[in-house]
Amino acid sequence: RAKAQGRAKYHVFNPAMHQEAIQLLELENDLRRAVERQEFLVYYQPIVSLITGKISGFEALVRWQHPTRGLVSPTEFIPVAEETGLINAINTWVLQSACHQLSIWQHQPVTPEPLTISVNLSARLFLQPNFVEQIDRIIYETKINPTYLELEITESVIMENTNAIKIIFQQLKQRSIKLVMDDFGTGYSSLSYLHSFPLNALKIDKSFVKRMQDNKENMGLVPAMIGIANSMGMSAIAEGVETEEQLAQLRSLNCNFAQGFLFSEPIEQQLVIKLLAVAPQW
Ligand code: C2E
Ligand code: MG
Ligand code: MG
Ligand code: MG
């Protein structure tokens, strides 16, 4: 073991790694400043009910409005934010913004049926000892009906922290908050465990939806995943739906909800009301 560490030391002086380390440090500093100056934006992507064909809600997706680099994707900065702990400040802000938006919709409805809002949660924030208190505070401050708030936790996070997660899930369920397993299919769920979590929905990862199209004869795992969700009393949400063909297939498989570029990319908040005004139906 000491030998392995000794050998690993040589890599510190690899120039490419040095360059990478500097870039990472810059990103960290930038991100710290971004948190102070609140350089983040919440984009919203519609989720469509495959029964009504109408928008049932939106997923909140964070973006970083960088002063020189423009809009930075969460896939670029969330991992660094997770490592540095900055994720808690960023994710709490997203949660607050999304709940504020939900509150506006609940007090001045823009659709015949109430809209839902889904927020992605980092394991770090979710597993903080005072997370449920924070949620209670946000509910109190924004005056939302939490029935329409959905929290998305990735499959790998749930499966790596099963006991802690179960306790928090129960507390959230008591508040009527909905729980969604995100990226389902990528994190090795134990099927015998799945029913012991009070989940409301499984969100099928876009990689599976994509493969469904690539291989027309063999639709792959998507029908099985929808079957698992529905047989356990949960909804199935397909993510990354890009084609009419995928939509038709998902409909024929009784998938409950879908989300993807076919319907709309994630859009800025001001465009949401315009999209809803058109009352699109698929
Ligand atoms: P996710 O929660 O699985 O979100 C779905 C991602 O797929 C989003 O990427 C969305 O823009 C993208 N997407 C939607 N429709 C399509 C499609 O038809 N085709 C393709 N190829 N992609 C599609 P985005 O916005 O870049 O977010 C990436 C990930 O970053 C999210 O994956 C989520 O894990 C994380 N994330 C985003 N916002 C937050 C946040 O506020 N907090 C935390 N903790 N994570 C976040
Ligand atoms: Mg998500
Ligand atoms: Mg997802
Ligand atoms: Mg995903």
Instruction: Write out the two tokens for 73.
Output: 């994707």
Confidence check: pLDDT of 16 > 60: yes
Closest ligand by atom to 208 CA: 4
Residue 221: CB partners within 8 Å, gap ≥ 6? 185, 208, 211
Comparing 1 with 51, which gets the higher pLDDT?
51
Does 6 have pLDDT greater than 60?
no
Compute the average pLDDT of residues 111-128.
Answer: 95
Mean pLDDT across 264-275:
97
Tokens of 12: 């510190």
Mean predicted confidence (pLDDT) in 63-81? 95
Counting ligands in written order, which one lies closest to the CA of residue 209?
1
Distance 23 CA to ligand 2 centre (A): 27
Helix, strand, coil % (nearest 5) of the chain?
Answer: 50, 20, 30
Does residue 8 register a pLDDT over 70? no
Over the stretch 134-184, which tens digit does the pLDDT of each residue have?
999 999 999 999 999 999 999 988 888 889 999 999 999 999 999 999 999
Q: Is the CB of 62 within 6 Å of ligand 1? A: yes
Indicate whether residue 46 lines ligand 1 (CB < 6 A). no
Determine whether the shortest distance from the Cβ of 266 to ligand 1 is under 6 A. Answer: yes
Least Cα distance to 90 among 80, 101, 105, 103 occurs for 80
Average pLDDT, the chain: 92
**3-state DSSP of 82-144:** HHHCCHHHHHHHHHHHHHHHHHHHHHCCCCCCCCEEEEECCHHHHCCCCHHHHHHHHHHHHCC
Give dist(CA 113, CA 54) in Å, integer.
10
Tell whether the model's pLDDT for residue 270 goes beyond 50.
yes
Residue nearest to atom 4 of ligand 1 (CA): 61
Instruction: Indicate whether 264 pLDDT > 60.
Output: yes
pLDDT of 263 reads: 98
| Cβ 121 vs Cβ 83: under 8 Å | no
CB 148 within 8 A of CB 120: no
From ligand 4's centre to the CA of 141, what distance in Å?
30
Query: Cβ(232)–Cβ(262) under 8 Å?
Result: no
Query: Which atom in ligand 1 lies closest to the alpha carbon of residue 62?
Result: 38
Task: Please tell me the residue having the least CA distance from ligand 1 atom 14.
Answer: 260
Q: Whose CA is nearest to atom 5 of ligand 1?
A: 239
Dihedral class, residue 177 (left if φ above 0, else alpha if ψ from -120 to 50, else beta): beta
- Whose Cα sits closest to atom 2 in ligand 1? 120
Distance 44 CA to ligand 1 centre (A): 10
State the average pLDDT over residues 122-141.
96
- In angstroms, what is the span from residue 161 Cα to ligand 4's centroid? 19
| Pairwise CA distance, residues 162 & 11, whole Å | 36
Confidence of residue 10 (pLDDT cuts 50, 70, 90): low
Q: Comparing 188 with 196, which gets the higher pLDDT?
A: 196
Residue identifier of the C-alpha nearest atom 23 of ligand 1: 240
Q: Is the dihedral of CA 62, 65, 71, 72 positive or negative?
A: negative
Q: Are 87 and 126 in contact (CB under 8 A)?
A: no
Out of 58, 61, 202, give the residue to mutate to test ligand 1, the one with the largest number of ligand atoms within 8 Å of its CB: 61
